[in-house]
Copies of this chain bind each other. A is one copy, B any other.
């Protein structure tokens, strides 16, 4: 609304930028206004700050957005991914070195990794890294580079080579589109390199996609269906689509 309001928000955002929470009370004092004014700032203006039980937090930080809102329809999406990941987890064995792809599909998988005694996760996604970083039993290797906010992941020239130097056991790959003829694709071109390298080097290659991705083609092609050993998906419709596929080795696992 106001100019001063925006300034206050900016100030608070700066204070929160490095993480942490700020009590409404302190935020108000910090800005020299009443709590009510801070509340109004927050509700009037769009802002990356959200108010959570009397505390201000950066909404963009992980660990803040709700995951399990029974009231939301988004819940069903989450449920599907949860089931998919449960199935995918059943292919993981003690001591594995996993390549975990970027995107939101594989995120629920990371919670299940706590069950193992020892694992190694290789990833080029920041959100994956954050979830793995807190697991004491999982060694984390993050492939760095230039950050792409759109996919919360990193890209660099040497990444392909770096992946191939690692002894990756199982590659867990996600996709934005899967089509029998046109193959497997994603949105962002910088994801192609790491995905292909992981597929090339891994002993076992799993594609984890929910049924909504079938029959869809996205701008960046990165593999054919035959490149995968196992496809983990959630719809009876999917196997039908896949069966037409010539490769008899294609193993479809229904979650």
Contacts and interface: CB of A to CB of B under 8 A. Distances in A.
Interface of A: 10, 13-23, 26, 29-30, 48, 52-55, 57-58, 60-70, 107-114, 124, 126-127, 129-136, 139-147, 149, 152, 154
A162 B29 CA distance: 45
Nearest to A58: B63
A64 B18 CA distance: 11
Contact of A149 (B48, B107, B133): B133
Contact of A64 (B63, B68, B147): B63
12 contacts: A15-B111, A18-B67, A18-B108, A19-B107, A52-B53, A58-B134, A60-B134, A61-B61, A126-B133, A133-B152, A139-B147, A142-B154
Contact of A66 (B22, B67, B109): B22
B140 A143 contact: no
Contacts of A126: 129-130, 133, 142
Closest 7 CB pairs of A and B: A53-B53, A144-B144, A20-B67, A61-B63, A17-B111, A19-B62, A140-B147
Contacts of A61: 61-64, 130, 134
A53 B21 CA distance: 12
Copies in the complex: 2
Contacts of A68: 15, 20, 22-23, 26, 30
Given A53-B53, A145-B141, A63 B66 contact: no
A140 to B, nearest CB: 4
Contacts of A114: 10, 13-14, 17
Given A130-B130, A146-B139, A65 B14 contact: no
